[in-house]
Amino acid sequence: MQRLYKQPKNYFFRIYYKKMTESKILSLIEAKQKIEQWQSESKKIVFTNGCFDIVHLGHIDYLEKARNLGDKLVLGLNTDASVRRLKGQSRPVINEYARSRMMAAMGFIDAVILFDEPTPKELIETLCPNILVKGDDYSVENIVGADFVIKNGGEVKTISLVKGYSTSSIIQKIKESY
């Protein structure tokens, strides 16, 4: 089978592209500084969060729509321990390093921050995004951090989700098929 692209053999080229995705994975302090810089340039910062365990079309559609609401998309990504607390001991399927690298590789995501807390409340209050986004399976009143964002002059929005896509349903389908 012929490759559609040539794999780079140059070591420095491979390291550069690895670093390019890793450079978008930020600590809380780095993210705060980056967001303050972007906001000083009059950029609108959109924030969302989630586990993003097995990435599927629903995730891609949601994140693209979120990014289109502003100039920069910042993603709060649940750590492995946090995912286990939320979803059970068999999750996540994909570890936090791999999940964060995959998210960072998406061109429409500008920063990824891992968080271990039960909710992203502290993260939202530290980062002060202009726009807070969740899927339409939430109501604005139930979105963690909504009151803080609104109180600070920001907006809270929900985005319609692609029906029929969820990580849980994909896992169930795999279990039933194999």
Q: In which residue ranges of the chain is pLDDT below 70?
A: 1-19
Domain 25-177 CATH (choose: 3.40.50.620, 3.30.590.10, 1.10.150.20, 3.30.390.10): 3.40.50.620
pLDDT in tens, 134-151: 999 999 999 999 999 999
- Please identify which residue in the block is written with the tokens 């809270």: 156
Residue with tokens 């906001």: 39
**pLDDT given at position 166:** 86
Domain residue ranges in the chain: 25-177
Judged on CB neighbours under 10 Å (0-12, 13-18, 19+), 66 is: buried
Q: Which pTM does this prediction carry?
A: 0.87
pLDDT given at position 8: 47
Hey, what's the torsion of the CAs at 163, 69, 144, 125, to 10 degrees? Answer: 150
pLDDT of residue 9: 55
CA distances from 98 to 53, 91, 129 (A): 10, 14, 25
Torsion of CA 163, 164, 165, 166, to 10 degrees: 110
